[in-house]
């Protein structure tokens, strides 16, 4: 197994290279962890795979998403662990000791941004960059009791970041409190070519019964209702919207086919040239992409377009969908592989809406199940990233 630098198995034990940062700025004094799919000048980008790391060369420049944080005064702490090629949701990379979820040590951190979530939850970093293709910001944030935003697709540059499924990949970050989260957002979103969308003053809130029903059982449902109370107190009651034309299963399979096919196009050549380098479960997810033919991909993309149009019409410019981030608390580390797979598939039915639409979604640490964190989300119109953060602040302040 690869070595780690800390007891939470968050930071990879890479040879240390000096990374410069501004000595003043809005993020001065804050420590930054960076998921090991981002280029950082002087470091190899290992992408969670030992062969990829050993065959790589040090980056000559940092990814823009990293550099803008350094230029705002944050100091680089190190590269954080990721699942192999960012294609997993549990944070259990076979090549490294698994990261520790400080909020619930007997449970997984979630992945693929596992080390970043562990670092922030455990107080080793103030900020940590991750990415979200299928839920790798939102799920770990919910599991570890953090704030996490899946940004509007294309809002933040992915230059210098390993691609998984380009039409779904997004930049995101973790923080423990909203002051830090907002400070990073001001840096990341300025300047922006996207118009700001969504009204954070008097938002229209919606719920979808099919999504509410995806929470696991009576205890989770009761806690979700309690979390909804914080939303109602801060922003008003959410209206139950008419069902979407697409079922949760149809959305899930559209997402899966697009993600898998694009992932195979991104990484399949490397996998074929390096037999045995990947954990079997991860390789199986990649190889599923081989089975998605052009006709199936075209159908899934057409379905995605219709869904995006329908959801966009529901939200308009000031509407926000309220939903559970994931079905419940993080799975226990000791759960069997088939149980983890069942959790993943149910979670993706919630997580895929933001991915398919490209719309932003924020998860907030509002509840607990069996003493472990459980998050609630708001999904807003394209470009409403800042408004989601503002709404999140109002909700968290009501909870306090």
9 is a domain residue? no
Q: What does the pLDDT read at residue 56?
A: 95
Interatomic CA distance for residues 370 and 24, integer angstroms: 42
- Known catalytic residue: 112? yes
Angle at 95 between CA 91 and CA 96, to 5 degrees: 65
343 is a domain residue? yes
CATH number of the domain enclosing 169: 3.90.1300.10
Give 341's contacts (C-beta < 8 A, 6+ positions apart): none
Interatomic CA distance for residues 112 and 91, integer angstroms: 6
Q: What does the pLDDT read at residue 260?
A: 98
User: How far does Cα 5 stand from its chain's mean position?
Assistant: 23
Tally of structural domains, the chain: 2
Q: What does the pLDDT read at residue 190?
A: 73
- List, in sequence order, every beta strand (DSSP E) within 36-114: 75-80
Range of the domain at 158: 31-188
Of 112, 142, 266, 384, which residue is the catalytic one? 112
- Known catalytic residue: 114? no
Residue 253 has a CB neighbour count (10 Å cut-off) of 16
Residue 62 has a CB neighbour count (10 Å cut-off) of 23
| pLDDT by residue, tens only, the chain of 400 residues | 788 999 999 999 999 999 999 999 999 999 999 999 999 999 999 999 999 999 999 999 999 999 999 999 999 999 999 999 999 999 999 999 999 999 999 999 999 999 999 999 999 999 999 999 999 999 999 999 999 999 999 999 999 999 999 999 999 999 999 999 999 999 999 765 455 666 677 899 999 999 999 999 999 999 999 999 999 999 999 999 999 999 999 999 999 999 999 999 999 999 999 999 999 999 999 999 999 999 999 999 999 999 999 999 999 999 999 999 999 999 999 999 999 999 999 999 999 999 999 999 999 999 999 999 999 999 999 999 999 999 999 999 998 7
The residue behind tokens 């922003």 is 235
Q: What does the pLDDT read at residue 195?
A: 55
Of 102, 114, 136, 254, which residue is the catalytic one? 136
8 is a domain residue? no
Interatomic CA distance for residues 113 and 111, integer angstroms: 5
Q: What does the pLDDT read at residue 1?
A: 72
C-alpha atoms less than 13 angstroms from C-alpha of 7 in its C-beta half-sphere: 4
Q: What does the pLDDT read at residue 193?
A: 46
Domain shared by 133 and 177, yes or no = yes
Interatomic CA distance for residues 114 and 83, integer angstroms: 7
25 is a domain residue? no
Q: Which two tokens stand for residue 31?
A: 């420590």
Q: Which two tokens stand for residue 342?
A: 């069942």
Domain shared by 169 and 293, yes or no = no
Domain boundary among 188, 216, 248: 188
- Known catalytic residue: 333? no
Which helix (DSSP H) or strand (DSSP E) does residue 373 occupy? strand 372-379
Q: What does the pLDDT read at residue 3?
A: 85
Domain shared by 209 and 337, yes or no = yes
Domain shared by 248 and 296, yes or no = yes
Domain shared by 183 and 83, yes or no = yes
The residue behind tokens 């840096």 is 187
Say whether pTM exceeds 0.95: yes
């Amino acid at each position: 197994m690869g070595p780690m630098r800390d007891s939470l198995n968050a930071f990879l034990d890479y040879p240390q290279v000096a990374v410069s940062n501004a000595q003043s700025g809005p993020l001065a004094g804050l420590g930054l962890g960076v998921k090991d799919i981002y280029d950082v000048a002087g470091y190899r980008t290992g992408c969670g795979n030992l062969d990829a790391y050993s065959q790589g060369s040090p980056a000559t420049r940092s990814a823009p998403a990293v550099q803008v944080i350094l230029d705002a005064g944050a100091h680089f702490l190190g590269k954080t662990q990721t699942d192999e090629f960012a294609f997993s949701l549990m944070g259990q990379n076979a090549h490294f000791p698994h990261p520790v979820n400080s909020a619930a040590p007997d449970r997984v951190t979630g992945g693929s941004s596992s080390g970043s979530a562990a670092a922030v939850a455990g107080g080793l970093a103030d900020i940590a960059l991750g990415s979200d293709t299928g839920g790798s910001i939102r799920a770990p944030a919910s599991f570890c009791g953090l704030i996490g935003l899946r940004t509007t697709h294309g809002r933040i540059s992915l230059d210098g970041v390993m691609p998984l499924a380009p039409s779904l990949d997004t930049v995101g970050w973790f923080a423990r409190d909203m002051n830090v989260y907002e400070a990073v957002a001001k840096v990341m979103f300025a300047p922006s070519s996207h118009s700001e969308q969504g009204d954070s003053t008097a938002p229209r809130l919606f719920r979808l019964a099919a999504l509410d029903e995806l929470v696991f059982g009576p205890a989770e449902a009761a806690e979700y209702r309690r979390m909804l109370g914080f939303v109602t107190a801060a922003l008003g009651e959410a209206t139950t919207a008419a069902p979407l034309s697409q079922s949760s299963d149809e959305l899930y399979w559209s997402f899966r086919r697009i993600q898998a096919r694009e992932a195979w196009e991104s990484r399949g050549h490397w996998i074929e040239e390096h037999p045995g380098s990947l954990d079997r479960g991860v390789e199986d997810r990649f190889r599923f992409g081989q089975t998605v033919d052009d006709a199936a991909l075209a159908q899934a993309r057409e379905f995605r377009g219709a869904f995006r149009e329908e959801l966009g019409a529901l939200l308009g410019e000031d509407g926000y969908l309220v939903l559970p981030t994931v079905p419940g608390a993080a799975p226990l580390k000791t759960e069997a592989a088939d149980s983890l797979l069942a959790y993943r598939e149910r979670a993706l039915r919630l997580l895929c809406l933001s991915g398919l639409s490209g719309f932003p979604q924020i998860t907030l640490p509002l509840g607990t199940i069996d003493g472990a964190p459980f998050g609630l989300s708001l999904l807003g119109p394209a470009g409403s990233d800042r408004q989601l953060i503002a709404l999140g602040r109002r909700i968290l302040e009501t909870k306090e």
